[in-house]
Structure 1
């Protein structure tokens, strides 16, 4: 009977001791702070001691502070522990064996103050990579303790996505692109809070606006020779994860501006230990493949010309769906009318175009060294050029006053040589002389024709009575 009472008494003491533990929540790999009770001893007092132990006994001394030697760690300590400025215990990163009872002893003179803590887990099971439209569940598991807990989920801080907090240890939702990132599980308990995080990886392709580049009448004045067409994964996901998700391949294709019904295959994705873009059959020899070592799927070093105008389609093929991203490539070109040489006095027309009418938010601006004000029009006409018009003519493509790209045209106006005018004068004289000869010949021939016509006419005469013929006397 006495033995039973002893057991009951020990059990009651154990339960009471358990109830006195200060509850602290933390995630493996995170940070846990066990706050020292500063109400019993102020940290401004220099002659006090602080000892931190792990476990129920006093043999596992982790770290301590004393006036003589300062802050020291115990022997064979594996815990990543340190003391903060007020000598509270900080554990970072938290490891599996840290979830135990912790004991803080404070000594000043003959006074001793003891406080115990219990470290509890906050666990978030890992989730696989998902695609937009998939259903995803997140769960924040909190170890049971004497503290009452409230769990709140905080979504990533991404634009175009709801930032409303979600309540409950388990939540489910349909995935959109902006759900990619770090989700935080916030646990409120006993006036304190703990945070655990998990990363949600959404597999999707990043969107890109139009790419603007340019060519001119001479390749030497073109601002660029090649262009990279961007395409990348929205999240930083390793290829090994993509392969586990069911990646089968991918491709780059091209729809030219001149023929929107034509689709040309450029590159195909080779999936395996080495991931690379391979050039497809019958593709232009200027297109080159490359090995992919990161999430950059861009089409590199495409030679710039007017023929690359159009839409480029980047795609990744999975078992469940195909992800696509479209990039529009605009090529600004500038040209002039006339032959290879332009002389003073001639009229010249300059053209700056994307190969199609400009969008309402786009405009062109002509820049000339000797010109003051030029109209903002893709077409510029110079009725009579002079030597002052020689030099570089720059056509800038602008959007909201910002320059997108530009093309340069070198205009060389030459003075007409004297021998050319002499040839023109001689040629004109010869032509006039020939015309006069032709006119004279025509007049003479007409005159002869009239005279011959008159001679061929038959003449009739009226005669008197016939006279006798022969000899006779009168």
Structure 2
């Protein structure tokens, strides 16, 4: 009795297990997958046998929602492609995988693979990332990123993390946010920001960890935004702006111009304009004769250069190179500072006299910069400094020699102008001494001539007296040379 009771009690349990097994075999298998707009994705028909092992009477189909996409029955394959994936889908036959490419936001939805009583439902989530200006920027422009998502289920709350071209994390400014669209602003870009950036998209439910790469190209100058160049009057100067278009492979055309003005508030003069083709060829056109300059024939690739063969003091000022691309502008300036030196009075320095040396720069100078006069191989007493940022320095001197004016910035001599002061007193004294000696020698020669002329003894005596007087005169003038000859 106990054994039959046990057997009867097991029957309902066995029936329940069988029933549960039948139900489980018909339960749908759910999967989740993320795709990117413009990219591709492969949806799996999970659990299906390889094509070579499937029975010949197997029926396999793919559906989008309730729309039939593809069906295979008794080795007969039928496509029912709706227009939204025409030309953008295919079946990988071995495992009946559905491949989609060139994805759109509208491709999001439920894709179902059916074979026998088995169904695999894949929820396809689509994300679209766009960057303003198609990723092409000029210096100091701030890009805008737009992240949009589409899903058949409720839209998840996404978190966005950005990494720059050096894989350093960047904190963007969130401009607006909704479950469907996120807009963020980046910092102002510099030329060194060119490269591949990564946008990391994350969600906990459903689990999304998607890295989206995008290219950033920043067209601009490899020079600093503001650069100072120093020159002395009559020297040769070359001003150069190096573009990075070849380095970043900027395959789009752009234009630009070079302007000069004496100072910030002065009228601007266009010196030249240029254009660069998508193939990187540079064409320049000279526009102005207000300033004498040359365009060097030989120069580094992707460089704008002008040559000033003989700098004048009024050539100083701001030289601004400006790029133009699709109505946007980027610029770089070179501030040319010119130094000149003068003396008052000009010419050789007489003994006991003074001269004023003046050193002047066209300015303005950088903070902390100053001028210095010093005598080469002189003492500290021969040195004079200006106040900071003064553009003119005078020094009164009484010593001849080589004097130098320096423009010093951050303990660095940016430029020096050497001026030699000649000694005038040496030449003047030689003239005076020479005249004195010449007159005495002339008197001595006349006396000697008279002695040898055969005149009378009386005359000789008189002439001897005059010679004694001449000798006395020579002694008074301390003319050693004449005294030596008289003794002979």
Cα distance in 2, alignment partners of residues 156 and 410 from structure 1: 53
CA contact (8 A) 2:145 2:183 kept: yes
Cα distance in 2, alignment partners of residues 261 and 421 from structure 1: 56
Mapped pair 1:253 → 2:253: no
Cα distance in 2, alignment partners of residues 424 and 264 from structure 1: 63
CA contact (8 A) 2:272 2:286 kept: yes
Give how far 1:308 is off.
2.9
1:210-225 equivalences under 5 Å are 210-215=227-232, 225=236
- With over 3 angstroms needed to count, the CA separation of the structure-2 counterparts of 1:214 and 1:124, relative to structure 1, is same
SS at match of 1:351: strand
CA contact (8 A) 1:133 1:174 kept: no
* TM-score using structure 2 length: 0.49
Task: State the partner residue of 2:372.
Answer: 365
CA contact (8 A) 1:214 1:405 kept: no
Cα distance in 2, alignment partners of residues 338 and 252 from structure 1: 41
Cα distance in 1, alignment partners of residues 165 and 358 from structure 2: 47
- With over 3 angstroms needed to count, the CA separation of the structure-2 counterparts of 1:292 and 1:381, relative to structure 1, is closer
Cα distance in 2, alignment partners of residues 136 and 424 from structure 1: 88
1:56-135 equivalences under 5 Å are 124-125=129-130, 128=134, 129-130=136-137
Give how far 1:318 is off.
4.3
Identify which of 271, 281, 284 aligns with 1:278: 284
Cα distance in 2, alignment partners of residues 270 and 291 from structure 1: 15
Cα distance in 2, alignment partners of residues 395 and 409 from structure 1: 9
Mapped pair 1:376 → 2:391: no
Task: State the partner residue of 1:393.
Answer: 404
SS at match of 2:425: coil
CA contact (8 A) 1:279 1:287 kept: no
Task: State the partner residue of 1:287.
Answer: 295
Identify which of 271, 292, 308 aligns with 2:315: 308
- With over 3 angstroms needed to count, the CA separation of the structure-2 counterparts of 1:130 and 1:422, relative to structure 1, is closer
CA contact (8 A) 2:251 2:280 kept: no
SS at match of 2:238: strand
- With over 3 angstroms needed to count, the CA separation of the structure-2 counterparts of 1:381 and 1:142, relative to structure 1, is same
Mapped pair 1:333 → 2:340: yes
- Where structure 1 has 5 or more consecutive residues not aligned to the other structure, the ranges are 31-53, 61-94, 98-117, 220-224, 428-474
- With over 3 angstroms needed to count, the CA separation of the structure-2 counterparts of 1:404 and 1:276, relative to structure 1, is farther
Give how far 1:275 is off.
2.7
Task: State the partner residue of 1:209.
Answer: 226
- Offset from partner CA, 1:352-403 (integer Å, 9 cap, x none): 32225656643223344312153322423233114xxx345241332xx343
Give how far 1:251 is off.
1.3
* TM-score using structure 1 length: 0.50
Cα distance in 2, alignment partners of residues 229 and 408 from structure 1: 23
Cα distance in 2, alignment partners of residues 148 and 289 from structure 1: 60
SS at match of 2:251: helix
Give how far 1:277 is off.
4.2
Cα distance in 2, alignment partners of residues 140 and 396 from structure 1: 58
Identify which of 221, 232, 239 aligns with 1:228: 239
Cα distance in 1, alignment partners of residues 141 and 421 from structure 2: 60
SS at match of 2:158: strand
SS at match of 1:365: strand
CA contact (8 A) 1:279 1:289 kept: no
CA contact (8 A) 2:371 2:393 kept: no
Task: State the partner residue of 2:16.
Answer: none
Identify which of 321, 324, 327 aligns with 1:320: 327
Cα distance in 2, alignment partners of residues 287 and 230 from structure 1: 13
Identify which of 422, 425, 433 aligns with 1:416: 425
Task: State the partner residue of 2:42.
Answer: none
CA contact (8 A) 2:143 2:187 kept: no
- With over 3 angstroms needed to count, the CA separation of the structure-2 counterparts of 1:195 and 1:333, relative to structure 1, is farther
Task: State the partner residue of 2:271.
Answer: 265
- With over 3 angstroms needed to count, the CA separation of the structure-2 counterparts of 1:200 and 1:382, relative to structure 1, is same
Cα distance in 1, alignment partners of residues 213 and 137 from structure 2: 17
> CA RMSD, aligned part only?
5.4
Cα distance in 1, alignment partners of residues 217 and 137 from structure 2: 6
Cα distance in 1, alignment partners of residues 314 and 347 from structure 2: 23
Cα distance in 2, alignment partners of residues 424 and 286 from structure 1: 55
Task: State the partner residue of 2:446.
Answer: none
